[in-house]
Structure 1
């Protein structure tokens, strides 16, 4: 039996007890009212009417002697009028009593009264007649001797009726008191039984609510205090509280799984962030080396340009310097070949840097995916916490403690969501920086390849100059002109190399910024890990 059924039984027993007491009370009150009505309308009326008859008989007897003793005709006439009226009233009362006869004893006394009164009334009227005839002695003797016995015969049943009605009224009162006592006992029994049943069912409900609520509050307090999501609330029974506890345990299990998933994702993201940070630092070093190489190449190109200009001037001055020009041409060829080799190395380094930046883009995309997963988990956790708060609100006072826990879970989910949003923004910034760096490195690669092509062309030209100078001195003028052209090409190449150096510096700055962003990402990951580590999930 669940709690609602027990409460229904408790209310039903209480209402049934109250209804029984009420119906019994109404019934007993109606019985008492009927007894009181009978006593008031019958017994009391019978006693009063019997007393009136007795009073009327006594009064008539007194009036009879007054009539006999009176010597005045006027007084006698007035007494006769009074006697006539009183006889009518007495007859009326005696006849009225017939309507109040209730038992055999009462009826026998009434019949005795009627017969005795009939004889007494005849004697009474004979005495009045003798008195009217002024035969006072005969009238007095009739009224006092024979009349007394007749009066006694009449008055005795009247007294019997009075006593009968008084005794009957007392009997009814005693019966009413006895019935009232029995009603009180019955009231107490029904009320006591109702109290016992209500107390018993109430105790069952109290035990059914008190124990699981105490265990639930203790378990939730432990989870709240120790942040231990491995704990569960013990479940016993199948009532509403047990269903609520099962729902809370399910929410705790869901939150635990969500936090475990978040923790695993954070660990993966931490490894990716460390790898990104290492790659970014390596890219920074490569960019620095590339910048230094570009600066060295620019200096070398400037030296080549100076040498070419010097050779051209010497070629114009004298043919004798042709051999020197050939030697210088050989030196220039060697330097240009070295420059070409260094430029090739720079181009390879830049290609590697571009590949590393592409890897950085891939890692950024992975981080973005992980961050989106964390955000989805946080949103699900927030939704679960909201559903738990709704279930607690439906539970009312029973779910208040759990509503607090659900609210804390929701707040944690909101903080996690904000943190993942910040991480996503940071990753987006890193990815944008990586995209710009990759684009710039591609430009650098193209420019370096173009510089290599120019350097190789310059090497070929100097080789031709060296061969031509060995073949014929007359070619010195042509070589001089070629050197002038080469000087222009070297100047242009120096400018391109300066651009490469500038781009290498920009690449280095972008790599440094990427390293800073990677460090910030790592710090955010450590913060989330520290928050997650505060919960016991295993």
Structure 2
């Protein structure tokens, strides 16, 4: 039963509680009043009977003193006017010890004289008040002492009366109580109907607003507050909750919008990073190829420099032989002054070529120095290749340019070496001619010896320069191989960066889709479920 009552509307609960409290209160009041009235009326009824007994007893004093039953009976018969009195008896004190009833009197049809005389229930002692119950009626019996003027107890008087007045009065009160109860129920119903509207009205209004909010997703609605009591506080709490929910949805929608924009930026940045990583990987591959080409060129330069050194050494030996020959034919050289002069000119040109070789060697040295610097730059760039890879292109181009200069310088060295060899050959020819004319150009031979010494020194310098070029190009080759190794590592890292960037792009695109889905879920908010505009990004 109580489970069914829990599902009733609060309107009917309030009405039921009010009516139940009113009815229970009226019932308790009626019961209390009935009990109180019954006890009060009963006590008053007893007092009236006692007073009546005293009056009748006083009127029978003379009859008892003179032992006059007829007079006593006449006096007792006056009680017949009271319809509630069933029987009455007058007891003589002198005869009470021998006879149960000294002066029995019968004046109603309810009790026979024999019953009155013989009933064991008829008391003889004064002061006894009791109730007798039969199948039909209930009686009240009172016994009072009768005293004379001197205070002597003359006898006792007994009056037996119906208590039906008590029952009638109780029934009357109960009937009136029922009417009052019915009227109270109607009044309680009207009052409950009035007061339940005061209590349940705001609650129903709050429920309607709540349904509108939940069904239409309209968090701009607010409940109206009619009072400052607990219901008003409930309305305030509901409005605050709806406002907080609306604010939270706006903040979530703003966050989702920011997430969407940020995700798009991340996707673009990741795509740019992936594209840059791919370009960087391609650039690094080209740089590795260029550095490998530089290494091969350096190796060729080293081999050519070694050949130049060997040729210079052979030239040195040849010059030494020529110098010895000049010393042997110095006297004959006096006859070939003209040839010696030509040899001097050729040797002078050889000296110029030697100077050019020196310049070329300086260029080769500069190339080696700059190649070393570029190797250092390439190493630094390899460390930072994860973020910026465009510097590798510049380094590769510079290395390539230096390699071309190195090749050009090597070619010039080769040409100069050929010229030197040719000049030396011409000098040898001239020396042979001078030998035939040794007697004519002794002085010129001496000068030729001096020039040969200079040529010897130059050839030695050329050999040393070629040796230095060989060593430098070998170092350059080693550095180039290290650069190639580092660039290959950087290429591997760049490919990993490219792969990671692509994964970032995929994850960012998924994040964009999630943000768009969440934004679509929060899209329909606001007045009447209309789409709420996107809040501005923070």
TM-score (norm 1): 0.52
Q: How far is 1:340 from its partner?
A: 5.1
Paired with 2:186 and 2:240, the residues of 1 have a C-alpha distance of 36
Q: Which residue of 2 aligns with 1:308?
A: 309
Q: Deviations for 1:198-225, whole angstroms, at most 9, x for unmatched residues?
A: 6655544433334423455xxxxxxxxx
Paired with 1:334 and 1:183, the residues of 2 have a C-alpha distance of 138
Q: How far is 1:114 from its partner?
A: 5.8
Distance 1:205 1:532, change over 3 A: same
Q: Deviations for 1:11-68, whole angstroms, at most 9, x for unmatched residues?
A: 99978985786477446524531331220x2333455677xx6xxxxxxxxxxxxxxx
Paired with 1:240 and 1:194, the residues of 2 have a C-alpha distance of 31
TM-score (norm 2): 0.52
Q: Which has the higher strand share?
A: 2
Distance 1:260 1:320, change over 3 A: farther
Mapped contact 1:17–1:190 kept (Cα < 8 A): no
Q: How far is 1:489 from its partner?
A: 0.8
Paired with 2:366 and 2:279, the residues of 1 have a C-alpha distance of 26
Q: Which residue of 2 aligns with 1:38?
A: 37
Paired with 2:476 and 2:301, the residues of 1 have a C-alpha distance of 10
Root mean square deviation of aligned Cα: 5.6
Q: Which residue of 2 aligns with 1:407?
A: none
Q: Please tell me whether residue 152 in structure 1 is matched to residue 77 in structure 2.
A: yes
Q: Which has the higher helix share?
A: 1
Paired with 1:269 and 1:193, the residues of 2 have a C-alpha distance of 73
Q: Comparing 336-345 with 270-279, which one deviates more in the overlay?
A: 336-345
Q: How far is 1:275 from its partner?
A: 2.5
Find 2:173's aligned residue among 175, 189, 197. Answer: 175
Paired with 1:159 and 1:532, the residues of 2 have a C-alpha distance of 103
Q: Please tell me whether residue 513 in structure 1 is matched to residue 514 in structure 2.
A: no
Q: How far is 1:258 from its partner?
A: 2.5
SS of residue in 2 equivalent to 1:237: coil
Q: Which residue of 2 aligns with 1:534?
A: 513
SS of residue in 2 equivalent to 1:313: helix
SS of residue in 2 equivalent to 1:534: helix
Q: How far is 1:316 from its partner?
A: 1.0
Paired with 1:342 and 1:532, the residues of 2 have a C-alpha distance of 56
Paired with 1:303 and 1:296, the residues of 2 have a C-alpha distance of 10
Paired with 1:534 and 1:434, the residues of 2 have a C-alpha distance of 32
Q: Which residue of 2 aligns with 1:29?
A: 28
Mapped contact 1:344–1:452 kept (Cα < 8 A): no
SS of residue in 2 equivalent to 1:235: coil
Find 1:484's aligned residue among 451, 463, 482. Answer: 463
> Within 5 Å, which residues of 2 pair with 1:292-441?
292-317=293-318, 357=381, 430-431=386-387
Paired with 1:356 and 1:282, the residues of 2 have a C-alpha distance of 16
Q: Deviations for 1:71-110, whole angstroms, at most 9, x for unmatched residues?
A: xxxxxxxxxxxxxxxxxxxxxxx2xx4xxxxxxxxxxxx5
Paired with 1:268 and 1:334, the residues of 2 have a C-alpha distance of 57
Mapped contact 2:309–2:463 kept (Cα < 8 A): yes
Which ranges in structure 1 are unaligned for 5 or more consecutive residues?
1-9, 54-93, 98-109, 128-141, 217-232, 365-429
Q: Which residue of 2 aligns with 1:498?
A: 477
Distance 1:484 1:349, change over 3 A: closer
Q: Deviations for 1:159-217, whole angstroms, at most 9, x for unmatched residues?
A: 3698896336523432233224422552465367547546655544433334423455x
Q: How far is 1:264 from its partner?
A: 3.9
Q: Which residue of 2 aligns with 1:61?
A: none
Mapped contact 1:35–1:176 kept (Cα < 8 A): yes
Q: How far is 1:523 from its partner?
A: 1.6
Distance 1:211 1:342, change over 3 A: farther
Paired with 1:434 and 1:276, the residues of 2 have a C-alpha distance of 8
Q: How far is 1:241 from its partner?
A: 4.5
Which ranges in structure 2 are unaligned for 5 or more consecutive residues?
1-8, 87-159, 224-238, 324-342, 428-447, 520-533
Q: Please tell me whether residue 118 in structure 1 is matched to residue 58 in structure 2.
A: yes
Mapped contact 2:209–2:221 kept (Cα < 8 A): no
Q: Please tell me whether residue 237 in structure 1 is matched to residue 206 in structure 2.
A: no
Q: Deviations for 1:461-517, whole angstroms, at most 9, x for unmatched residues?
A: 996996785886714422332233123212212222212321331342143034213
> Within 5 Å, which residues of 2 pair with 1:273-288?
273=273, 274-288=275-289
Mapped contact 1:43–1:168 kept (Cα < 8 A): yes
Paired with 2:379 and 2:459, the residues of 1 have a C-alpha distance of 44
Q: Deviations for 1:140-175, whole angstroms, at most 9, x for unmatched residues?
A: xx524x443322114434736988963365234322
Which has the greater radius of gyration?
A: 2
Q: How far is 1:519 from its partner?
A: 0.6
Mapped contact 1:266–1:529 kept (Cα < 8 A): yes
Q: Deviations for 1:353-411, whole angstroms, at most 9, x for unmatched residues?
A: 859949x95xx8xxxxxxxxxxxxxxxxxxxxxxxxxxxxxxxxxxxxxxxxxxxxxxx
Mapped contact 1:304–1:490 kept (Cα < 8 A): yes
Paired with 1:157 and 1:271, the residues of 2 have a C-alpha distance of 121
> Within 5 Å, which residues of 2 pair with 1:55-66?
none
